[in-house]
Amino acid sequence: MAIFEKAYDPVRQWEGGWCNVEGDRGGETYAGIARNFWPGWPGWKTIDGAKQHTSFRSGARAFSRHLDGIPGLRDMVEDWYRTEWWDRMSLGTLPQTLADELFEQAVNLGRGGAVRSLQRLCNALNYDKSGKRALFPDLAEDGALGSKTLSAMADILRKRSTPEDMVHWLNCLQGAHYVAIAAKNPGNRQFLDGWRTRTYCPGHNEVN
């Protein structure tokens, strides 16, 4: 079974502290939790209260350091990632490398976006080289991580590929997605370098 802490550690490093970047649809963000998308997260009450501290007027880095020192705030962040992403997608049942990747992509692309990429990849790999036939009926790309998708992934891992190869392909799809939205919308181009760090492949290159 996959372990949440192993998947969460790189995400925790990537998502950083507090910011409020003009042009970001998520608006005010702390540790990757965007207020416009998650207004009900209980940590916002703590953060709003902390804005009375002088560090808030000194900029995002100073305020982030102050927030990191508030007891319990980082625990609320970790609980949110575990509950909203890891547990809701039942990622603990998967091989660790695949669970890590789907967790990271779900956080960045949304649960539906991450699962649709997985389903697209499963369909692309749906070929038994020895038998020259499909391994399963092609999946509907509906973004639901249900029994058919899990069964298809298990067939691929048993007869066609490895978790590491699937992670590599998932990163290719993720990178292509980021390039497409940055090319289409100039306002997103400021985020592309940061997005690139999400497309690392274990054993292929290091996290920047």
Percent of the chain's residues with pLDDT above 70: 96
pLDDT for 208:
35
The residue extents of the domains of the chain are: 4-87, 93-199
Average pLDDT rounded to a whole number, residues 43-54? 98
Q: What angle do CA 143, 23, 36 make, to 5 degrees?
A: 55
The least confident of 16-25, 136-145, 198-207 is: 198-207
pLDDT of residue 166: 95
The DSSP annotation for 107-118 comes to HHH-HHHHHHHH
**Mean pLDDT value across residues 75-87:** 96
CA distance 188 to 128: 40
This prediction's pTM: 0.84
**Whole-angstrom Cα distance, residue 67 to residue 61?**
10
CB 114 within 8 A of CB 102: yes
Greatest alpha-carbon pair distance for the chain in Å reads 68
* pLDDT tens digits, 103-122: 999 998 899 999 999 999 99
Give the three-state DSSP class for 134.
coil
- Tell me the pLDDT of the chain averaged across its residues: 90
Give me the torsion for CA of 77, 63, 14, 82, rounded to 10°.
Answer: 0
pLDDT of residue 200: 65
